[in-house]
A = this chain, B = another copy of it.
């Protein structure tokens, strides 16, 4: 999801305006990124940066919730939890204890197209974390008891991240009808009734089918050279044979979307009703990122910040909405969504909010972007890209997401230029192409008149679950 990094970048922009004004170097041959591939298929990516004696060490697997077997949604995520439950030589929880005892931190995350493991630690401990990561790539051996108790943890996690928020529940229902056939219609964390059916056996079968060096990407960012990382990788991952069960991911495809869908969810906890509409569309494709770049800029033009089209018309010129926004999931292996939302001021019916939202889009399609605003947006994007270069963890992350979503390092490198090259005409063309009602789901999240207080509103569009 772009929303979080953007918001983050925006918050930090005032601190680095000078950088934002300078030309973006972009990722390029001099960007410190080096790669290698081991004989067993493990891909390595190193971003050398000697500014601090720390490394971020990640292993990404090309498998995620979209690969969960039917009826066992949540399995990829459950396995991600079980990866902390011990191997043939490490006890349950020992992995994280050792990382912490060595001054590091670790975590894991799962989404539709990837599952990843990350440690941040002093660079002289890279050898240690890599040896443990290689160990659990091949020798996972959790106890049945640990699986039973971890299932409770996952169930509780579902309560927290989905059921505790109306936006979470609503987002899940919208997704279920956004996709008519594809496994993206299922929640990453799994439907509750299916989580309850998960077993250690199922997780180990999934592990046996999808984990192994030939389905993994090692990314090390920080105080290490590619030579050092490759030598360590040869030592730790090199002895693991390729997993012959790993197959090319080929997901079920969508039938044509020909009928606009709507749904309405009422929840007593809703404080601020909103309307949200999402459209099925293409993500970035290898060596073909122009349209995705235009959609990325379009999302910003329509929904990013107070000068965006939706905000200007519905919040600045007219005090109509509490919040407005747009989103685009630029990186995905299969089809993604583009969306817009309006949270109207209290008391305004959603019918009216939707009509206003439609009218803003209608006018935008006629008039196109304001040249000054487009220039500001592109400056912001440029600044975000520069900021991203400064943040090693974020650079490593982008590479991991891209490589597990069918893109290449070259695509990652070319992305800032693709964004930079987007013209006003392309933004309008992208808008005309994406706003096809027949691919859309329009959702109304409503209260029941019982809500009190004024808590935050969750738009429910995130798809990644952070592990621990």
Task: Point out residues on A near B: beta carbons under 8 Å.
Answer: 70-71, 73, 169-170, 172-174, 176-177, 180-181, 183, 185-186, 191-194, 250-253, 255, 258-265, 443
- Assuming the contacts A70-B252, A71-B252, A255-B191, asked whether A262 and B265 have C-beta atoms less than 8 A apart, the reply is no
Whole-angstrom CA separation of A169 from B257 in the bound complex? 11
Bound CA–CA A176/B256 (angstroms) = 12
Tell whether, in the assembled complex, residue A253 and residue B193 are in contact, meaning their CB atoms are under 8 Å apart. yes
Minimum CB distance partner of A73 in chain B: B181
Q: A446's closest neighbor in chain B, by CB?
A: B259
* A262: B residues at CB distance < 8 A: 261-264
Q: How many copies does the complex hold?
A: 2
Closest to A265 in B: B259
Given known contacts A70-B252, A181-B191, is B261 in contact with A261 (CB within 8 Å)? yes
9 contacts between A and B (CB under 8 A): A70-B252, A71-B251, A170-B259, A176-B181, A194-B253, A258-B265, A260-B264, A261-B262, A262-B262
What is the distance, in angstroms, from A420's C-beta to the closest C-beta of chain B? 36
Chain B proximity of A176: nearest CB distance (Å):
4
Interface of A is mostly: mixed
CB-based contact B181/A261 at 8 Å: no
Residues of B within 8 A of A259 (CB): 170, 173-174, 263-265, 443
Specify which of B73, B253, B263 is in contact with A260 (CB 8 Å cutoff): B263
CB distance from A71 to the nearest CB of B (A): 4
**CA of A133 to CA of B435 in the docked complex: distance in angstroms?**
53
Question: What residues of chain B lie closer than 8 Å to A191, measured between beta carbons?
Answer: 181, 255
- Smallest Cβ distance from A209 to chain B, in angstroms? 15
Q: Nearest CB to that of A193 among chain B residues? A: B253
**Distance between Cα atoms of A169 and B255 in the complex (Å):** 11
CB-nearest residue of chain B relative to A173? B259
Q: Which residues of chain B come closer than 8 Å to A181, judged between CB atoms?
A: 73, 176, 185-186, 191
Given contacts A261-B263, A262-B262, contact A176 B180 (CB under 8 A): yes
* Interface pair A180/B185, CB less than 8 Å apart: yes
Whether B264 lies near A177 (C-beta < 8 A) is no
Please, how many angstroms separate the alpha-carbon atoms of A263 and B178 in the complex? 12
- Which partner residue on chain B sits nearest A445 by CB separation? B259
Bound together, the chains give a CA A183 to CA B261 distance in angstroms of 19
Extra contacts, 15 of them, besides A71-B252, A176-B181, A261-B263 (Cβ < 8 A), are: A70-B252, A71-B253, A169-B258, A172-B255, A173-B180, A173-B258, A173-B259, A176-B177, A177-B261, A191-B255, A192-B255, A259-B263, A259-B264, A260-B263, A262-B263
Nearest chain B residue, comparing its CB with the CB of A262: B262
For the complex of A and B, the 3 pairs showing the least CB-CB separation, nearest first, are A259-B265, A262-B262, A71-B252
Q: Which residues of B contact A177 (CB under 8 A)?
A: 176-177, 180, 261
Instruction: Identify which of A172, A183, A263 gathers the most chain B CB atoms within 10 Å of its CB.
Output: A263
Instruction: Report the bound CA distance from A185 to B174 in whole Å.
Output: 16
- What is the CA–CA distance of A264 and B265 in the complex, to the nearest angstrom? 18
Q: How far is the CA of A126 from the CA of B332 in the complex (A)?
A: 58
Find chain B residues with CB under 8 A from A180 CB: 173, 176-177, 185
**Across-interface contacts of A73 in B (CB, < 8 A):** 181
Expressed in whole angstroms, the minimum distance between the Cβ of A375 and any Cβ of chain B is: 38
A170 to B259 alpha-carbon distance, docked (Å): 8
Distance in Å: Cβ of A337 to nearest Cβ of chain B: 16
- Which residues from chain B contact A253 at a C-beta distance below 8 Å? 71, 193-194
Q: Which residues of the partner chain B approach A173 to less than 8 Å between Cβ atoms? A: 180, 258-259
Taking the closest CB of chain B, its distance from the CB of A73, in whole angstroms, is 8
CA distance A365 to B192 in the complex (A): 33
Roughly how many angstroms separate A264 CA and B437 CA in the complex, as a whole number?
A: 10
- Write out the residue numbers on chain B whose beta carbons fall within 8 Å of the beta carbon of A170: 259
* A279 CB, min distance to chain B CBs, angstroms: 15
| Interface contact A193-B263, CB-CB below 8 Å | no
Whole-angstrom distance between the alpha carbons of A193 and B335 in the complex? Answer: 15
What residues on B are CB-neighbors of A258 within 8 Å? 169, 173, 265
User: What is the CA–CA distance of A307 and B176 in the complex, to the nearest angstrom?
Assistant: 39
